Structure 1
């Protein structure tokens, strides 16, 4: 008899999953960038698999901006809230403003984070103040919220609606920085320009960062950057919830833009899902101008693709440095180049006849072309996955943030290219390194091998996402997968209390030994004195 209710419950769950659930997606959505584009792609995928998806965005949003997001325009429902007043006059623009290579390298990560989190708070407040939008969201009776790991607002919204949420982290390798996992000093942090083959001094630097600097950064992040969000928790009557709970371990599942065909092997938790490369698939037709240029490229001659990221502009010095090195190559080049001036046609005077300069690069489509022999890249997450997926050797010139870390995976782990420091870059060194990668068939061979492994892994990523989403909806969360580390204080997490007990024991250990030795010493002296007195 007990089996009958269980069978009924399973049947109901199967029917529910077959019908799909109502899913709210809250991106880090005050501007467009890779984070937003990836969640647009995910929304299109979930709609295609039978889920009912609602995408929350400000009134200025005019997406989708991701051309590979299938079904988004026709099937994804938009819920727009009133854009904060100070942004009403601006269009929905890029999260990262275009700038010169030198200025990008000088950027302060703290300043950039403060800018983004302050805008995130403004938009989150605007969402909760938009009574019409909030009422519509509540009336939907959604089953799940999917949110960017940076979008604190998504976590607050899910808690307010009393439904589970799933976070998506876009930085490859960031799972090693979560609170729930013990630190792995033998693996480099995402902010470190090291591989897993570190020297002694590199391991010292990495350990100092993980054990000392990272806890301080986390404390500052929670105490300073997240502090304004406490106002929203009070507004939503969520006084029994802390921001630490929401940010560190409130999610039912955590999806990471990471794949272990590229990433260093490391410990993971059961509520983590890894789908690296999932957002970087798909293709579209090439423009006529590019197609015409490709037809003139002989397969033996080959093609070099140069793109230092969508936000990079070149001043005259940097433009001519790249142009001079590329002009000397014995092959054709397509280079994404935007001058650091108001005149968008101000191309470098040094560029050669073999070089086609474009303002926008169809990167995926060009990397998939068999004539492409080399990819010069800043090693952003998207570029990394696309290079590996298509098996193209790389010359990495990272600029900021996690780019040096991702570049090391391509060059030191996968051995499919080389690494150049932008601080010491010259036209001669760039040209020399370009020829090195082009003429060394080992890089091409390793790139093809890495491509094969990643493609095999990608076959299961879609099902992995559906499994996570469906499980979170069916079980209304995943508390059974939460680590006990979530409920530990900082001194328990770092075993400070255990270390203190051991130190105290070691300090007290000599005392009983000293007392025992004195006792036996006195006993021996007394015995000798008794023997001596008897002999007398």
Structure 2
């Protein structure tokens, strides 16, 4: 919606509200007249007036509710559909609260986004294909997943960040091929807050340019962002980096690797972001600012984690856990053919299989291996699958290009969930108490899988090296050992026992930020300290200097006393020796 149309809408709402109130006043006068007049026995007329008053009251309530809504700007990143699903679900919840949600999106996918979310408005820009390149990069990551490690991901992150910079230049209008009027339109619209994914920092720059509060919606646990942007302590002895797939009980070698990886990642990403966004920050915000200083001004951090599945760790007041935002949405009845397939499984039940975006690039050999294992099971299998049907596909397996995943996991016939440990799927399985077999690849998936295993929710396999026999045994283990289902049911009850749902909590905090124009009082001063002050190295150096001075003084004093005592004793001995010699 353009600023002109938005302004017209606002004026119309105000006019309707005023008109509504005038009509209500007239109706009340008419009602009083009708009641007091001799013709008050005309009950039909009175009922008409009474109904009109009720309708006008309802209309005034609806109009005033809609007109009081805030304008919220979403700046999603063009990578990973799971990230967009979460951001869109938050936006939809905000629309349900009467707010107007606008999404900044590339022209080549705006039609798709409009079809998905017709309640949103959209600001479009021409990105000259950079968004498409980033999405191709995502597919390439799945193609090379067999050879990607946590350390390789740093290099891939560098490549993605360079493309993200060009994408951001197009959005802000710095590039001649971009939309130079975008920021002007955004300023005219007078948004109340910007919500963006911190993986790409363009939303941070937009919020600073507009001078409005910023909310970071982090799809993972933000281990790197925590320290750099919130100042929260990160005890690496029991807080593992999400990419490594460790738990909070690490061996010495694991703690060593965790420390080295965090240090390397910290240094590399600080350098990377500083270089990638340096010119954009100086052009659109201030030469006194850096991307790190802007990020540290973020008013609220929404983390897709939860204490039931995550490991205990330090936090800050502006860090809010909202893990499983979409897990508690209402269950939709399955289509007739899927429901019939579910019921045909009998007491054995069914297994839900989904590998997310990995399904696009999975090798034929891997697909055949999975199909052969599924064919050996007594359970029936619903598998999200794209491509040519495997030759060894069993009669018990139903292939579908798209799955109503949450509705399947909520079904009483579901016995297990085979997945890639994507965060959304893991929380949906947790919510419905379904044990899992996880085959993580990269990103946050190893960490999610480690948490599933640590909590007793399922088992994890290495996607790169798993064999047919290992996969078969893992599935049978989850199906036959009752402790997995019992643990899943217990954790599901624990997860559901919250005063607010994750979505309600996210919406409340977003509205809290808007209501107060930001939450600077929740930001720790730790983000403003240089590293040597944060780690108290200057204090340690001062205390070390004092201790050294005291010890040095004591040593010197003791040495001086000892020398004097020794000299006196030596003098007396020499005098005695001389006296003895003279006497002799």
Query: For residue 193 of structure 2, what is the aligned residue in structure 1?
Result: 144
Point out the structure with the larger helix share: 2
Q: Distance in 2 between matches of 1:232 and 1:117?
A: 13
Structure 2 CA distance for aligned equivalents of residues 145 and 232 of structure 1: 18
Q: Distance in 1 between matches of 2:315 and 2:448?
A: 19
Aligned to 2:396: 354
The answer to whether the 8 Å contact 2:303/2:321 transfers is yes
Report what 1:291 is aligned to.
339
Residues 1:220 and 1:176: Cα distance change in structure 2 (over 3 Å): closer
Per-residue CA deviation, residues 332-376 of structure 1 (Å, 9 max, x unaligned), is 1112233xxxxx3x2222222211222222211111111010111
Deviation at 1:499, TM superposition (A): 4.0
In the alignment, what sits opposite 1:114? Answer: 158
Shift of 1:321: 1.5
Task: Give me the whole-angstrom Cα distance separating, in 2, the residues matched to 1:321 and 1:177.
Answer: 40
Contact 1:24 1:145 in 2 (8 A): yes
Is the Cα contact below 8 Å between 2:154 and 2:265 reproduced in 1? Answer: no
Q: Tell whether 2:261 aligns with 1:261.
A: no
Residue 118 (structure 2) aligned to one of 73, 84, 91:
73
Indicate the residue corresponding to 2:442 in structure 1: 400
Distance 2:539 2:133 in 1: 55
Match of 2:513 among 460, 463, 472: 472
Between the aligned partners of 2:284 and 2:145, the Cα distance in structure 1 is: 39
**Counterpart position of 1:4:** none
- In structure 2, the CA distance between the partners of 1:350 and 1:111, relative to structure 1 (3 Å rule), is same
How does 1:418-497 map onto structure 2 within 5 Å? 418-457=459-498, 459-497=500-538
Kept in 1, the 8 Å contact 2:326–2:503? The answer is no
SS, match of residue 259 in structure 1: coil
What are the residue-to-residue correspondences of 1:171-210 with 2, within 5 Å? 171-172=220-221, 174=223, 177-179=226-228, 180-185=231-236, 186-210=238-262
Pair 1:278 & 2:319 matched: no
Q: Which runs of 5+ in 1 are unaligned?
A: 1-14, 339-343
TM-score relative to the length of structure 2 = 0.79
Q: Distance in 2 between matches of 1:265 and 1:91?
A: 38
Q: For the Cα contact (< 8 Å) 1:173–1:263, is it kept in 2?
A: no
> C-alpha distance in 2, partners of 1:500/1:16?
59
Shift of 1:66: 10
Alignment of 1:122-133 (within 5 A): 122-129=166-173, 130-133=179-182
Q: Are 1:57 and 1:80, in contact at CA under 8 Å, matched by a contact in 2? A: yes
Q: What residue number does 1:219 align with?
A: 270
SS at match of 2:389: coil
**Alpha-carbon offset, residue 443 of structure 1:** 0.4
Select which of 316, 322, 327 maps to 2:364.
316
- Describe the superposition over 1:188-223 as per-residue Cα deviations: whole angstroms up to 9, x where unpaired: 11122211122222222222333x323322333234
SS of residue paired to 1:241: coil
- In structure 2, the CA distance between the partners of 1:63 and 1:365, relative to structure 1 (3 Å rule), is farther
Confirm whether residue 85 of structure 1 aligns to residue 128 of structure 2: yes
Does the CA contact (< 8 Å) of 1:188 and 1:195 recur in 2?
yes
Cα 1:99/1:458, change in 2 over 3 Å: farther
C-alpha deviation, 1:483, in angstroms: 1.0
- Partner of 2:287, secondary structure, is coil
Runs of at least 5 residues in structure 2 that lack an aligned partner in the other structure: 1-63, 174-178, 580-584
Q: What SS class does the counterpart of residue 97 from structure 1 fall into?
A: helix
Distance 2:84 2:67 in 1: 28
Q: Distance in 2 between matches of 1:47 and 1:458?
A: 22
1:216-255 mapped onto 2 (5 Å cutoff): 216-223=267-274, 227-236=275-284, 238-247=286-295, 249-255=296-302
Q: 1:454: how far off?
A: 1.6
Structure with the greater alpha carbon radius of gyration: 2
Equivalent residue of 2:110, what SS? coil
Is the 8 Å Cα contact of residues 278 and 458 (structure 1) preserved in structure 2?
no
Choose 524-533 or 303-312, whichever is displaced more.
524-533
Q: Which residue of 2 aligns with 1:386?
A: 428
Task: Note if contact 1:297-1:332 (Cα within 8 Å) is conserved in structure 2.
Answer: yes
Separation in 2 of the partners of 1:256 and 1:16?
A: 29
* CA displacement at 1:304 relative to structure 2: 1.0
How far apart are residue 235 of structure 1 and its match? Answer: 2.8
Contact kept? 2:158, 2:272, Cα under 8 Å: no
Matched residue SS, 2:428: helix
Alpha-carbon offset, residue 449 of structure 1: 1.0
Q: 2: distance between equivalents of 1:192 and 1:458?
A: 33
Instruction: Decide whether the 8 Å contact of 1:275 with 1:458 is kept in 2.
Output: no
Identify the range of structure 1 (230-239 vs 370-379) with the bigger mean alpha-carbon deviation.
Answer: 230-239
Corresponding residue SS for 1:401: coil
Whole-angstrom CA distance in 1 between matches of 2:256 and 2:549: 31
CA offset at residue 458 of structure 1?
7.6
* Deviation at residue 285 of structure 1 after TM alignment: 4.8
Q: How does 1:367-378 map to 2 (within 5 A)?
A: 367-378=409-420
Aligned CA RMSD, in angstroms, stands at 2.9
- In structure 2, do the counterparts of structure 1 residues 128 and 485 end up closer, same or farther at CA, with 3 Å as the change threshold? same
| Alpha carbons 2:86, 2:325 under 8 Å: kept | no
TM-superposed CA distance for 1:287, in Å, is: 4.3
Structure 1 distance, partners of 2:268, 2:79, is 25
Cα 1:193–1:458 shift into 2, 3 Å: farther
Distance 1:522 1:315, change over 3 A: closer
